[in-house]
Amino acid sequence: MIISATLTNAGMSVKTMRGGAEAVFDLLWGRYDLIVTDLIMPRVDGWEVIRQARASQKTAKVIAVSGGMADRIDSGRALEVAEMVGADVTLTKPINPNQLVRVVEALFKN
């Protein structure tokens, strides 16, 4: 909710999904400039969301966020893998709203 509110307050149009499965399905039909995904999600994880985004949304920018999962993977490793599968930027939770806006603005500065 923080990410959605932050981007909406910055003047961006935001569509939220309830999880990775819904996001992957929606990537087949919608067109997006920016995709922000958590990595640790039930059923369909954020790494799969990134892979699908790269397959169907060739020009979209992708931001991956993670706080890790103590018993499975630390956030640094999780975000490293996200970069390997195609994330443009990775951010560690908790997300700083000002940093998020700066990162998004930098991605679209061209």
DSSP-assigned letters across all residues of 86-101: T-SEEEESSPPHHHHH
Contact indicator for 19, 42 with CB cutoff of 8 Å? yes
Which has more pLDDT, 78 or 104? Answer: 104
Rg for the chain, CA atoms, rounded: 13
Residue 109 in any domain: the answer is no
pTM across the whole model: 0.92
- Residue 57: phi, psi to the nearest 5? -125, 65
- pLDDT computed for residue 23 by the predictor: 96
- pLDDT computed for residue 42 by the predictor: 86
The total domain count for the chain is 1
Q: Can you give the residue range of the structural domain that contains 59?
A: 2-103
Residue 108 in any domain: the answer is no
Tens-digit pLDDT profile for residues 52-92 = 999 999 999 999 999 866 566 677 788 999 999 999 999 99
Residue 60 in any domain: the answer is yes
- pLDDT computed for residue 45 by the predictor: 95
Residue 92 in any domain: the answer is yes
